[in-house]
Chain A
Amino acid sequence: DAGITQSPRHKVTETGTPVTLRCHQTENHRYMYWYRQDPGHGLRLIHYSYGVKDTDKGEVSDGYSVSRSKTEDFLLTLESATSSQTSVYFCAISESIISSTDTQYFGPGTRLTVL
């Protein structure tokens, strides 16, 4: 998984509780991404980061926030989890955003269930 770990790998939580997912990389890549994957949908971008403390929204960012205080760590927080956020969450990294070096590599994923 290209030097990417995610924690926890599985989590069950209740509606209304805050949840934080962690992505850690050892590749020293500048760019990091959070996706969710649901049946019938492709991977959908939640948030991304282009450097320490530099983040921006993706297409499905409502209800999520992120932080990146170190190059290697990218945190995804669900402020108040809802059942619609039950999903598999993948972190990805890329070396750049320029064609030929913009390949994204994925972490192992976190399966989140919100009851």
Chain B
Amino acid sequence: QKEVEQNSGPLSVPEGAIASLNCTYSDRGSQSFFWYRQYSGKSPELIMFIYSNGDKEDGRFTAQLNKASQYVSLLIRDSQPSDSATYLCAATTGGFKTIFGAGTRLFVKA
């Protein structure tokens, strides 16, 4: 069973701090990795995707991929209360089968 594992949280950080969200995946054939943000009662919205080992930055968000360790992370700098949401990690080998983690709840305290 191919899996994507995330700590369910909640992860609580103070406003302005760095939030670090982690994800591991079991399928070594996974090629593409995605981070989605999901507010309560809403649909997942894409934050970032990453395909290559290393870091990818987009504004306050940095995705990190380590294929040797089968590990993906998302860093949120200068966390804001509006970042409070559930963050979903997903991995795909290409094709139709994207595997989603159950998500990590993030709470940013004002």
Chain A interface (Cβ within 8 Å of chain B)? 1, 31, 33, 35, 40-45, 48, 50, 56, 58, 90, 97-100, 102-109
Contacts and interface: CB of A to CB of B under 8 A. Distances in A.
Contacts of A102: 32, 92, 94, 98
29 contacts: A31-B96, A33-B96, A40-B8, A40-B102, A41-B102, A42-B101, A42-B102, A42-B103, A43-B44, A43-B90, A43-B100, A45-B98, A56-B96, A58-B96, A90-B44, A97-B94, A97-B95, A97-B96, A99-B92, A100-B32, A102-B32, A102-B92, A102-B98, A103-B49, A105-B46, A106-B45, A107-B43, A109-B42, A109-B43
A108 B49 CA distance: 21
Interface size range of chain B in the complex? 20 to 34
Contacts, number: 60
B99 A50 contact: no
Nearest to A98: B94
Nearest to B99: A42
A106 B4 contact: no
Most buried by B among A31, A42, A105, A108: A42
A58 B45 CA distance: 21
A97 to B, nearest CB: 5
A50 B95 CA distance: 10
A35 B34 CA distance: 16
Given A43-B88, A106-B45, A100 B51 contact: yes
Contact of A99 (B32, B97, B102, B103): B32
